[in-house]
Amino acid sequence: MPTKIKNKKEGNMRIVTVSVPEALLETIHRLLGVEGIYPSRSELIRCAVRELLLKELKRLKREAQQQEDAKPAKPKKKKKKENDK
């Protein structure tokens, strides 16, 4: 079971082990440190995962809306007049 870590900004977190190709890891390292964009590998990976999840959720929402829009409109029921009984 992953180890739990307390983070003030994001609440409880768990440690997860991930295998990453060497070329991808080299690119990650270029974005780290004093001159990089991210302070740590963990922060970079959290940001990447967060962005991917937001992107995928938007895509799923858009697809669901497109499916809803593609459904044929239900015919409106005619109201019966009192004389038509």
Reported as a single tens digit per residue, the pLDDT across 25-81 is 999 999 998 888 999 999 999 999 999 999 999 999 999 998 888 888 777 777 776
The number of domains in the chain is: 1
Spatial CA neighbour of 44 closest among 29, 59, 56: 29
Q: By three-state DSSP, how is residue 82 classified?
A: helix
- pLDDT at residue 84, as a whole number: 60
User: Quick check: is 38 in a domain?
Assistant: yes
Q: How many Å separate Cα 16 from the centre of its chain?
A: 18
Q: By three-state DSSP, how is residue 33 classified?
A: coil
User: Quick check: is 80 in a domain?
Assistant: no
Q: Which residue range forms the structural domain that includes residue 38? A: 4-69
CA separation for the pair 49, 55 (Å, rounded): 10
